[in-house]
């Protein structure tokens, strides 16, 4: 790329193209899921007019919901403490990158929580098709009109217990293998938690997919504003 003001050839920042590509392609995948209307088909695999049989299953409620939520916040707290007292893989990056990771996790969680709290979109178990009273409304319209149900169900807050940690890919990017492993672990955890909520009737799969994308965008946005490695070297 040539900078117009100087005529100097400027190379893109490392990973810049791949971040843009991942952001756009993942958005296209989520939009395709919405366009094909796959939410209801998958939801009907777990429930029907009588509701969702697994809604109160102990594994999904006690372990993969309540237990996971506590574990996620403990991990977030550990990452915050790790900014000053690093251990394990946190020792491989300087204080600025450790702070970036902690900030990204908290910011992504807050972002999803605020969106969810303001949304009028209800959970699948509230819909008439599954024994509730709500009628389907496109989830992106949930901030302007309700669907007759309880609302506050989009995006998927519980899936963010995993997806909020995708920012580790940016914080550990100087160590590619570690960064990839961290990213894949965060995505796998978020998907697992999302599927658990799907089985209970608490969320549609699109809620989970949008949560993953929004957490990624939050992490990418923070990374784009974070000081360059050379500028924060003195903080390590």
Q: Flag whether pLDDT at 230 surpasses 80.
A: no
Q: Specify the DSSP element, H or E, that contains 223.
A: helix 205-225
Distances (CA, A) of 73 to 88, 104, 137, 185: 19, 13, 32, 16
**pLDDT tens, position by position, 56-66:** 999 999 999 99
Q: What is the model's pLDDT at position 142?
A: 81
**In the numeric block, which tokens belong to residue 197?**
């909520």
CB burial string 129-142: b at 16+ within 10 A, e below: ebebebebbebeeb
**pLDDT tens, position by position, 122-154:** 999 999 999 999 998 888 888 888 888 999 999
**pLDDT tens, position by position, 50-100:** 999 999 999 999 999 999 999 999 999 999 999 999 999 999 999 999 999
Q: What is the CA radius of gyration of the chain?
A: 20
**0.75 surpassed by pTM:** yes
């Amino acid at each position: 790329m040539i900078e117009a003001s100087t005529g100097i050839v400027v190379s893109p920042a490392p990973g810049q193209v791949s971040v843009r590509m991942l952001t756009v392609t993942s958005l296209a995948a989520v939009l395709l899921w919405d366009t094909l209307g796959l939410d209801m088909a998958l939801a009907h695999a777990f429930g029907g007019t009588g509701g969702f049989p697994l809604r109160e299953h102990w594994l999904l409620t006690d372990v993969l919901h309540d237990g996971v939520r506590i574990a996620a916040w403990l991990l977030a707290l550990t990452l915050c403490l790790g900014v000053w007292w690093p251990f394990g893989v946190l020792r491989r990056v300087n204080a600025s990158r450790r702070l970036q990771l902690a900030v990204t996790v908290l910011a992504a969680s807050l972002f999803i929580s605020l969106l969810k709290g303001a949304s009028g979109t209800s959970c699948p178990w509230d819909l008439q098709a599954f024994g509730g009273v709500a009628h389907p409304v496109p989830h992106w319209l949930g901030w302007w009109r309700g669907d007759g149900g309880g609302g506050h169900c989009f995006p998927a807050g519980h899936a963010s217990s995993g997806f909020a940690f995708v920012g580790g890919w940016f914080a550990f990017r100087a160590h590619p293998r570690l960064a990839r492993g961290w990213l894949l672990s965060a995505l796998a955890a978020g998907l697992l938690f999302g599927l658990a909520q799907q089985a209970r009737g608490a969320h549609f799969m699109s809620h989970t997919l949008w949560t993953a994308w929004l957490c990624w965008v939050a992490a990418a946005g923070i990374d784009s504003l974070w000081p360059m490695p050379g500028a924060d070297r003195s903080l390590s």
